Each structure stands twice: as C-alpha cells, then as structure tokens.
Amino acid sequence: MTMTETAGARGALCATHEDDEIASLDALALSRAFSNRELSPVEVAGSLLDRIERLNPQVNAIVHLDREKTLEMARAAERRYISGSVLSPLDGVPVTVKDLSSIAGWPRRRGSLAFDGLSPCAEDTSCVARLREAGAVFLGKTATPDSGCKVVTRSAAHGVTLNPFDLTKTPGGSSGGASAALAMGFGPLAVGSDGAGSIRIPASLTNVFGLKPGFGRVPAFPPDIDMPHSVVGPMSRSVQDAAAMLAVMSRSEPRDAFAWPVPFCVPDDLADPDLRELVVAFSPRMGCRAPLEDHEVDELVLEAIPLLTGAGVRVLAEDPVWPVDPVEPFRIFWDTVCMATVDGFTQEKRSLLDPTILKAAEAGRMVSVSAYQSAMEQRLKITAASRAFFNRFDLLVCPVVATAAWPVEYDVPEGFAADDWRWCPYTFPWNMTGQPAASVPIGVTSEGLPVGVQIVGPWGGEENVLRAAAAIERRRHP
C-alpha cells in the first residue's frame, strides 16, 4: 500500500499512533487514493472505525457509531469507483456529523436527556442529504452540549469531551466533539454548526480549520428558529478539504426560502493563492470591549499578518465601529431562543434540560416585546455598520477567542460567569450580521495549546475567506 499524500493531523494524541497512516490523510488525498486504487473506501472506513473504538475513550468525541451502516455506505462507494460512476470528489470519504444534525436511520440525541436517543430519524438534515448524494460515508455522530448551549462540550447525556492536546483542557464547543475527532484522526471531515462561535472556537482550541458560512450559504431544513445566527458549516484539517465540503453542503435545497440562489465555487488557486487584489483590515480587539486578554494569543494572531502580506495582501490596522455594544442585543436573542427551546418540551421533559438552558430561558421570559424589537433594530444597525466597513475592506483579520483552551471543569474561562458573553466578543457579532468567518490554525502557546486566527468576509465572501486562510496555512504549515 503506497501513501503518496499526507496532511499532518496535528492532534497530540493521534500523533502517537504511527500504526494508522490512514488517519493522517486528508479528504482529497483519500479521493485520489480511491481513484488510483491505492486504497479502498471499505479499507479506510474499517480502519477509522477501529481507530475510534480504540482511542475515543480517551477524549469522548464520538457518541454514536453504526459500523454496519458505515461499511454499507463504503461498499457502495467502492462499487462506484470500480464501475467509474463516482459521484463527487467526496465519494467514499468519511465524515463525522455533529449530533445536532439528523441522519436518516440514525438516532439524534442533541446532547440532551430530554430527547429520545434511541429512535432513528426519518430524514437527513439538508447538508447531510447533500453529503449523502455526493457519496460521503457517515462515520459517526460527534458530541455536543445540550442543544448546543455551551462553548464547552459537556452534557448529562454523554459526559465530557476532552482536548486531544491536553486532556485536562476543553476542546471548546459546541462543536467540540467534531473538533476533537478531527484532531484525533477520526476522519478528515466533520459537520459542525455555529450560532455564536461554535465552529470557530473549538477549531481554534484544537488546531483544526473551521468555517462558519454566511447565512443562507448552506441550506437548512427544517429552518432554525435562531436565524440568521445559527448555520451549519465544514470543519477539517485543511482549507482545501473544507472548500470541497462546502461546495457539496451548499447545493440547492428548494425547501429553504433563505438559501442562496448562486452556487458556491471552490477557488481555483487554493493551493497557492495570489492575494494582491485584497485589502485587509487587522483589528486585535475588533472594536469590542475585551475583559479577557492573553499576550501569547495576541502575539500569535499578529503572526498572521506577514503570512498574508507574503501572499500579496495589503494590510491596514483599523477597528470596526459598532453603533452599540454587540453583546447587548445578542444576549436578548440568546435568552429568547433558549426560552423557545424550553417551551418546545413538556413540563416533565423540561426538568431534564441543561441548567444553562433553563437559566437563559428564565431571562428570556423577562424580555418584553419592546426590548426584543429594540434588539432587532440594534442588530440592523450593527449589520449596516459592518456593511460600511466591508465596503472599504475585503476581509478582516482578528482573534477567534482571547485565550487558549481552559480547564475542562469550567464552562467558560475562570473568573467569568457561565452566562457572561463579554469574555468572547470576537465571534457572535458575525452570527448577528450573517457574514462568513473562519478559524485557521496559527500556532501554539508555550504550553503547547493551539490558537487560531479569525478571518471574516462580507456577505458572499466565502471564497476570499478560504483563499486567505489557505495562504496562512501554506506559509505556516508548508
């Protein structure tokens, strides 16, 4: 067996298991290996399932496996390669799916004791359906906190997910199971979701790439009541893999009234982007109040600038100017969505929900119609201010989160209340504006903990976000 392509899976634990070369291959390398008959989808799926069974107890990233269903999908992909009827570049490639998304025939617990964790779902979530149509092989469901309600991955249903770089630290959340699985080599691709930073924060804390697409780029059905905040997006160990995954996930869904009518096209220069046409703003505080600061994180984020200028980017230091503090309206939206979540359950089931949701729901009940309308108006002003900013800049570079991974026993960094969003002001504004934003690995702290840098684009700007991320990746990890 010849392995001609590798993409360093940078998780600390996965790097200790040299017996499994398959785990280090990225999605597009696997696709080429399948086409060249160097590997088979069945061989890869079986190897990764064995790896998960062996190593998952160390991190608790995968919460559901169905070996036979996975191997059945892999066998179907293998037949397509043999017959020359390959469906897409992701045909036969293993994908994990965050357990907030449905897979037909698989259970979905959403990290919650209030959900039935045994009954199979009747149909795929839209992005899962697109991946199935492209021939992707579903490898397992990844852990999430109850209904995605935290920035760590801990639930009464599945326990605590740990960071592969340091088992005493969190991988973040709510897509922490997805990020930990990638770092452990449990497949090259992962479906994540992001309503306040839930793709970008865990990507930053575990040294993987994560993209929050703009609202409507990846169709959703049934619609999420948290529109436009919450979207589904790709997570991977390379930018090119994420771009290929986004191209599939963003395919048309006629039932989504907000889906973009213009298809996403993978940029043709991701291998070595020439970014001389781009003007990029660099903002180390993003115009926000920052009660949490870390000198090492600041220095690592700053290191993205020479990498981008090396690709031709013109970088200017400038902060966005917000008409109001984004945390104020966001807190209202968060609390009222939690209230709606709680109200969707019977009184008996509500007692099984995470206390974080119940506390936020109580705050949501105190929000008047007038206050909610004011928050809506503030969101419109914030979005207009962002549009004005991106009329002058093609991209914004800033932190993802002002800390590396924190101790796993805390829901948020020590010194902050669990419901205090001020400690991480760099992610949720872009959920309110509906713009694309990504976390790309930039380095590690003196303790060996990963840090990502955030790249934000205007509406419809996923291509340039990916190109800038690829430029950083190529120069940082040649």
CATH number for 344? 3.90.1300.10
Q: At which of 205, 233, 249 does a domain end?
A: 249
Predicted confidence band at 130 (pLDDT cuts at 50, 70, 90)?
A: very high
d(CA 365, CA 129): 36
In a domain, 9, yes or no: no
Residue in the structure block whose two tokens are 């007692």: 351
**Residue 18: what pLDDT?**
40
pLDDT in tens, 14-47: 444 445 899 999 999 999 999 999 999 999 999 9
12 belongs to a structural domain: no
Tokens in use for 48? 């990764």
Looking at the fold, whether 416 and 332 belong to one and the same domain comes out as yes
pTM of the predicted model as reported, rounded to 2 decimal places: 0.95
Among all residues, which ones are annotated catalytic?
98, 174, 198
The answer to whether residue 1 sits within a structural domain is: no
Same domain membership, residue 199 and residue 89: yes
The 10 Å Cβ neighbour count of residue 359 is 15
Is residue 463 scored above 60 in pLDDT? yes
Mean pLDDT of 448-477: 97
Q: Is residue 151 predicted with pLDDT exceeding 50?
A: yes
Nearest Cα to Cα of residue 405 among 452, 440, 442: 452
Q: What is the mean pLDDT of residues 70-94?
A: 98
Domain assignment present for residue 197? The answer is yes
Q: Has residue 7 been placed in a domain? A: no
**260 belongs to a structural domain:** no
SS3 53: helix
Select from 228, 249, 270 the last residue of a domain: 249
Report d(CA 347, CA 349) in Å as an integer.
Answer: 6
User: Looking at the structure, do residues 297 and 238 belong to the same domain, yes or no?
Assistant: no
289 and 413 share one domain? yes
Angstrom distance (rounded) from CA 135 to CA 130? 9
> Span 313-327, mean pLDDT?
97
Domain range spanning residue 319? 279-476
User: What is the predicted pLDDT for the residue at 117?
Assistant: 86
Mean predicted lDDT score pLDDT of the chain: 94
Q: What element of type H or E holds 236? A: strand 231-236
The answer as to whether 107 is a domain residue is yes
Query: 93-107, 158-172, 384-398, 407-421 — which is least confidently predicted?
Result: 407-421
Over the stretch 267-286, which tens digit does the pLDDT of each residue have? 999 999 999 999 999 999 99
Residue whose C-alpha is closest to residue 67's, from 157, 170, 153, 140 = 140
Same domain, 284 and 361: yes
Question: Would 254 be classed as within a structural domain?
Answer: no
Return the DSSP state at 463: H
Helices 239-249 + 126-133 axis angle, to 10: 100
Q: Are residues 293 and 146 in the same domain?
A: no
| Judgement on whether residues 241 and 335 belong to the same structural domain of the protein | no
Closest CA relative to residue 281, chosen from 383, 395, 438 = 395
Asked whether the beta carbons of 194 and 212 are under 8 A apart, the reply is yes
- 324 and 245 within one domain: no
Q: Are strands 395-399 and 279-282 parallel, antiparallel or unpaired?
A: parallel
End-to-end CA distance of the chain: 25
What pLDDT is stored for residue 210 in this prediction?
98
Distances (CA, A) of 25 to 3, 19, 93, 95, 441: 9, 13, 11, 13, 18
Report the distance separating Cα 208 and Cα 222, nearest Å.
28
Residue % of the chain over a pLDDT of 90: 89
Residue with token string 């804390």: 205
Instruction: Write the CB contacts of 106 (distance below 8 Å, at least 6 apart in sequence).
Output: 64, 66, 69, 120, 121, 138, 141
**CA 190 – CA 182 distance, rounded (Å):** 7
Q: Do 342 and 448 belong together in one domain?
A: yes
- Identify whether the C-beta of residue 11 lies closer than 8 Å to the C-beta of residue 184: yes
pLDDT at 7 over 70: no
Contact 245, 90 (CB under 8 A): yes
Please list the alpha-helical segments (H only) found in 207-346. 239-249, 295-302, 304-309, 327-343
% of residues, the chain, pLDDT over 70: 96
Give how many domains the chain has, as a whole number.
Answer: 2
Of 232, 249, 266, the position where a domain reaches its end is 249
What confidence tier does 2 reach under pLDDT thresholds 50, 70, 90?
A: very low
The reply to whether 219 and 305 lie within a common domain is: no
Q: Based on the fold, state whether residues 416 and 355 are members of the same structural domain.
A: yes
Report, as an integer, the average pLDDT of 240-257.
95
Say yes or no: 95 and 208 in one domain: yes
Dihedral of alpha carbons 242, 247, 251, 256, sign: positive
